Amino acid sequence: MDLGKILIDAGRAAVGVPAAVYALSAIGLNLQFGYTGLLNFGHVASMLVGAYGLAITVDQGGSMWLGIVVGLILAVLLGLLMGVPTLRLRADYLAIVTIAVGEILRLVVRSRFAAPLTNALSGIQGFADSFYDLNPIPVGQYGIGTFRFDERLTFVLLVGWGLVGLTTLLIRRLTRSPWGRVIRAIREDEDAARSLGKNVFAYKLQSLMVGSAIGGLAGIVLAIAQQNVGPDNYLPLLTFYAFTIVIVGGPGTLRGPIIGSVIFWFVFSFFDGFMTGAVTEGWFGDLLDATDIGPIRFALFGVVLMWLMTYRPQGIFGKREELLIADGR
Amino acid sequence: MAAERFSLEGVAAVPGVPKPDPVVVIDDLGRAFGGIQAVDVAHLEVQRGTITSLIGPNGAGKTTLFNVLTGFDRPQHGRWQLNGGPLVGIPAFRVARLGMVRTFQLTKSLARLTVLENLMVAAKDQVGESFWGSLFGNWRPIEAANEDKALASLERFGLRHMAGEYAGGLSGGQRKLLEMARALMVDPEVVMLDEPTAGVNPALTQSLLEHIKNLRRDGMTVVFIEHDMDVVQEISDWVICMSQGRLIAEGPPGEVARNPSVIDAYLGKHHGEIT
């Protein structure tokens, strides 16, 4: 087993397209969950409508830019649609409704009656050519040693991480303003916020819509990178990856989602490489074979998560004293 | 204070009696939970610029009345108004903006905000609290002015040294002070305090009572729920007593304390009767 190669591959995964996409997605979720305290279990739905908004628009003859705008608007409308009936109710209802909305949307785009637009199970491909036509980077390999990406991937990575940086700046401006103070107050106690004259419903709705738009952006980047959208790319699991990332990084912190995503993908890829090596070298004899690697790395990540929750439950960047206070209530 | 009490001089100690200058007026208010009539008030007025205590045994409907008045609960029927403007169907946040601000029986400190932030978030008319305003508005000068106001208020309430601490780290009594200071940041006309002295040590209770008297001096109307009759006697201009959702007595503190139906409500009927 070549540990050096496994580490380099893990490093590639840590800065790769999925890491950028999940960082972006987690930034949106962090605004909703970390700052506002909203339990949105259907965050994947925002990614889905962003991606399908782009793919369908281009597929029907629109331009890519129009597609991106359509995807973002649909994501904002999704936030509105999920929020209006549920945000006046208790937090658990939002969780129930959102997880259902995510599954309903996936089943709708997958269904036969939607096939004229969505191609049902086959999905839509090849809608992002005009994105790659914009690539200003000359053909070649970029990076150091074996840590290299081709010009196409380099372009996607630059755009992806660039968007991560820009949205982080947006969230920073929002959360360090009086608006951000109100949403944190709502997270702590919405009746108190109400008694001080704050329109809690409107703030929650705004937070849900902005978070959903960022989730939609994540879906758009993923769709462009893969040149493919298909219903089963948007399983509820993606929402829980995003939650894992937010919690690992530290909810309600600016750097949390980014660092959380990098760590998530590094550890995940490391376990993947390590287990593959170990199984190939026959460490486990007949106990495990190659098909077991997929599930095992999830289990191992679960162990890491448990360890983290035991020794650093506030996440990597969360403040310990905040957690002690939250416990003491 | 004699001057304020004078404003209620000559007002008869009868439940539902009209006042010379009412700031809050309630008519035919009913709130039932299932078969239990929690609040059933035919008419009630609260005189502007006074400290009015709301007393009554547990379950008398005092907190429910507070909840209804401040928009946190909806009654089955009734009308109530602030400064002559109807409040029926107006949501809680708007009631607060109209000038009637409440505190809670179980203090609601915003635990993971600092003490200073707890006050800052309550300030009115901060353009940076709107979504677009936070991105493009010029909110920093307002913020600076609000911070001066908040720090002065913390100074007055003896919390200045805790300004940078998380509110969740305050003691129970300090949280009561914080909640009152926070409510005042809204610049209310009417302050509704739900058991401000519950669970507070005697020394801090005295300082809380001084703060409540200062609110009256600054022209605010205070309505507060209180169980300690000594406290009620000490600072109230007027006392309202509820029992089983109904208004059973109102009047100056001394008079209400001697009222037989109030004594009945607190101690049970037939007390001291030899059968």
Q: Are B54 and B44 in contact (CB under 8 A)?
A: no
For the complex shown, is ipTM > 0.95?
no
Q: Are B45 and B62 in contact (CB under 8 A)?
A: no
- Alpha carbons B199 and B195: distance in angstroms, whole number: 9
Distance from CA of B32 to the nearest CA of A (A): 21
Is B111 in contact with A187 (Cβ distance < 8 A)? Answer: no
pLDDT, residue B6, reads: 56
pLDDT 10s digit of each residue in chain B, 275 long?
444 445 788 888 888 889 999 999 999 999 999 888 999 999 999 999 999 999 998 889 999 999 999 999 999 999 999 999 999 999 999 999 999 999 998 889 899 999 999 999 999 999 999 999 999 999 999 999 999 999 999 999 999 999 999 999 998 889 999 999 999 999 999 999 999 988 888 888 898 999 999 999 999 999 999 988 888 998 999 999 999 999 999 999 989 988 888 888 877 765 554 44
Shortest CB distance from A185 goes to which of B97, B121, B135?
B121
Task: Suggest the residue from B70, B93, B140, B184 to mutate for an interface test with chain A (most A CBs closer than 10 A).
Answer: B93
Q: How far, in Å, are A32, A127, B34, B78, B257 from residue B232 at the CA level?
A: 45, 74, 32, 28, 10
Pairs of CB atoms within 8 A across A/B: 115
Is B147 in the A-facing interface, judged by CB distances under 8 Å?
Answer: no
Is A312 in the B-facing interface, judged by CB distances under 8 Å?
Answer: no
CB contacts, 8 Å: B110 with chain A:
184-185, 188-189, 192-193
Give per-residue pLDDT as tens, A29-69. Answer: 999 999 999 999 999 999 999 999 999 999 999 899 999 99
pLDDT, residue B106, reads: 87
Give per-residue pLDDT as tens, A95-118. Answer: 899 999 999 999 999 988 888 888
Burial of B266 (0-12, 13-18, 19+ CB in 10 A): middle
Which pairing describes strands B85-86 and B246-251: parallel, antiparallel, or unpaired? unpaired
Task: Suggest the residue from B66, B82, B131, B186 to mutate for an interface test with chain A (most A CBs closer than 10 A).
Answer: B131
| Structure token digits, residue A211 | 């978070």
pLDDT, residue A325, reads: 64
The closest of B122, B86, B76 to B103, measured between CA atoms, is B122
- Domain at A3-327, CATH class: mainly alpha
Burial of B250 (0-12, 13-18, 19+ CB in 10 A): buried
Is A188 in the B-facing interface, judged by CB distances under 8 Å?
Answer: yes
- What pTM, to 2 d.p., does this model score? 0.91
Q: Are B251 and B239 in contact (CB under 8 A)?
A: yes
